[in-house]
Amino acid sequence: MTSQKTALAKLFTAQLFAGAGIASGYAVGGLLAEQITGRTAMAGFAQMSVILGAGLVAYPLSTLAARFGRRTALTLGFGIGTLGAAVVLIGVAVGLLPLFMVGMMLCGSSTAAGLQARYAASDTANPAKPGQAMSIVIWATTVGSVLGPNFTEPGSRLGELLGMNPLAGPYVISMGCFLLAATAAFTLTPERRAVSSPASAQETTARSAPHDRPRLGEALRYLLRQPVARYAVITVITGQMIMTNVMVMTPVHMDHQHFDLTAVGIVVSIHIMGMYVFSPVFGWMSDRWGPGSVITSGAVVYAVTVALGIYDSLLPTSNFVILNIALFLLGVGWSMFLIGGSSLLVKSVSDRMRVPLQGMSDSAMNLGGALMAAFAGTALQVGGFFLINALAGVVLLVNILFALLARRRSRAEHQSEETTPAAVRQLARDLD
Q: Are 236 and 338 in contact (CB under 8 A)?
A: yes
* CB atoms near residue 258 (< 10 Å): 9
Q: How confident is the model at residue 277 (pLDDT cuts 50, 70, 90)?
A: confident
Does position 16 have pLDDT exceeding 50, yes or no? yes
- CA 257 to chain centroid: 29
Q: What's the mean per-residue pLDDT of the chain?
A: 80
Does position 82 have pLDDT exceeding 90, yes or no? yes
Tell me the CA distances in angstroms from 105 to 167, 201, 298, one per residue in order.
18, 41, 30
Does position 199 have pLDDT exceeding 60, yes or no? no
Tell me the CA distances in angstroms from 138 to 161, 280, 322, 406, 427, one per residue in order.
34, 8, 27, 27, 23
Per-residue pLDDT at 51: 82
pLDDT of 386-421, one tens digit each? 999 999 999 999 999 988 888 777 666 555 444 444
- The CA distance from 93 to 159, in Å, is 11
Residue scoring higher pLDDT (186 or 207): 186
Q: Are 429 and 290 in contact (CB under 8 A)?
A: yes
Alpha helix segments (H runs only) across 38-125: 43-68, 70-94, 97-124
Q: Mind listing the domains of the chain with CATH numbers?
A: 1-186 (1.20.1250.20), 216-432 (1.20.1250.20)
Residue-by-residue DSSP string for 370-408: HHHHHHHHHHHHHHHHHHHHHHHHHHHHHHHHHHHHHHH
pLDDT of 18-42, one tens digit each? 888 887 776 677 678 777 877 755 6
CA 148, 154, 160, 163 dihedral sign is negative
Q: Are 42 and 104 in contact (CB under 8 A)?
A: no
Q: How confident is the model at residue 86 (pLDDT cuts 50, 70, 90)?
A: very high
- The CA distance from 152 to 155, in Å, is 5
